[in-house]
């Protein structure tokens, strides 16, 4: 039996036998090849394994360049892992999980709509789309009525101290911290069962960090499985149920030897 097949079997058993298991990564590797720079390889992830159940918040820790963002992007399917298995619970499939590393694009999109949310440090501003619509969009995409989606968006924006006068405006001109709070509201509104958070509080003051931490803790207590990176210790302390260290990335020569 090949390594891939046995990893697939282990994933299948894990999701059937453990109803609380939401995300399972096994031996994930990611190497970037810098073609413009002599084919040098950067081994950003050298075999990372992780299991996350409902109600857990795993905080990734490690120095800058350790691969924290890379791991979150692989888990979301933005980066294709160079090796290993990444499976996320997907009750719409016969096997009750989706293997992200070889899933069809439409399955990944469905999983993102229904199961996995991702919040990065920066908002992707869509020109001329009002803040309220931007935040409500993930619910509208799921078929929730516009009024209900707006009401939920407004509740979240208010909790995140985004002034009401900004709700009808497009966030292109907002401050960094205002944009980040709009981004968090958009990321949390659909109450995804799996949440991937990459420094969502990086440009916030203490009061707003606290508001965000509170929302993350509530999501966790409602059963979300969370993997996150947080730049300040107070937030880590507040939200983490567990920490996972990642080691610094290694540079390889073009021949593939570790430098």
Ligand X SMILES: Nc1ncnc2c1ncn2[C@@H]1O[C@H](COP(=O)(O)OP(=O)(O)OP(=O)(O)O)[C@@H](O)[C@H]1O
Where does this chain bind ligand X (CB under 6 A)? 32, 42, 44, 62, 64-70, 249
In the bound complex, what is the minimum distance in angstroms from residue 73's beta carbon to Mg ion?
Answer: 9
In the bound complex, what is the minimum distance in angstroms from residue 259's beta carbon to ligand X?
Answer: 12
**How many chain residues are in contact with Mg ion, going by CB under 5 A?**
2
Please give the C-alpha separations between residue 241 and each of 54, 207, 208, 225, 231, in angstroms, as whole numbers: 11, 22, 21, 10, 16
100 is in the binding site of which of Mg ion, ligand X, none (Cβ under 5 to 8 A by kind)? none
42 is in the binding site of which of ligand X, Mg ion, none (Cβ under 5 to 8 A by kind)? ligand X
223 is in the binding site of which of ligand X, Mg ion, none (Cβ under 5 to 8 A by kind)? none
Separation of alpha carbons 188 and 215, rounded Å: 8
122 is in the binding site of which of ligand X, Mg ion, none (Cβ under 5 to 8 A by kind)? none
Strand, helix or coil for residue 164:
helix
Helices (H), the chain: 3-17, 68-76, 105-114, 131-141, 146-159, 176-188, 206-221, 233-239
> How does DSSP classify residue 246?
-
Among 52, 69, 75, 131, binds Mg ion (CB under 5 A): 69
For ligand X, the closer CB: 70 or 131: 70
Burial of 68 (0-12, 13-18, 19+ CB in 10 A): buried
In the bound complex, what is the minimum distance in angstroms from residue 81's beta carbon to Mg ion?
Answer: 17
208 counts as binding Mg ion under rule CB under 5 A:
no
């Amino acid at each position: 039996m090949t390594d891939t097949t046995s990893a697939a079997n282990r994933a299948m058993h894990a999701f059937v036998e453990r109803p609380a298991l939401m995300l399972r990564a096994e031996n994930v590797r990611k190497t970037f090849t810098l073609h413009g720079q002599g084919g040098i390889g950067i081994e950003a992830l050298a075999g990372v394994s992780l299991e996350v159940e409902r109600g857990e918040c795993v905080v990734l820790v490690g120095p800058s360049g350790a691969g924290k963002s890379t791991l979150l992007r692989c888990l979301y399917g933005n980066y294709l892992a160079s090796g290993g298995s990444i499976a996320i619970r997907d009750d719409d499939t016969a096997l009750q999980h989706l293997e992200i590393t070889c899933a069809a694009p439409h399955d990944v999109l469905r999983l993102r709509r229904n199961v996995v949310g991702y919040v990065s440090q920066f908002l992707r501003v869509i020109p001329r789309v009002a803040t309220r619509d931007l935040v409500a969009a993930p619910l509208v995409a799921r078929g929730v009525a516009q009024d209900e989606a707006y009401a939920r968006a407004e509740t979240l924006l208010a909790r995140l101290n985004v002034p009401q006068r900004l709700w009808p405006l497009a966030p292109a001109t907002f401050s960094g911290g205002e944009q980040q709070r709009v981004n968090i509201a958009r990321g949390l509104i659909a109450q995804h069962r799996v949440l991937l958070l990459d420094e969502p509080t990086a440009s916030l003051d203490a009061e707003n960090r606290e508001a965000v931490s509170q929302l993350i803790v509530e999501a966790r207590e409602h059963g979300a499985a969370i993997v996150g990176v947080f730049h300040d210790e107070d937030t880590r302390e507040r939200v983490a149920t567990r920490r996972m260290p990642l080691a610094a990335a290694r540079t390889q020569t073009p021949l593939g030897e570790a430098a």
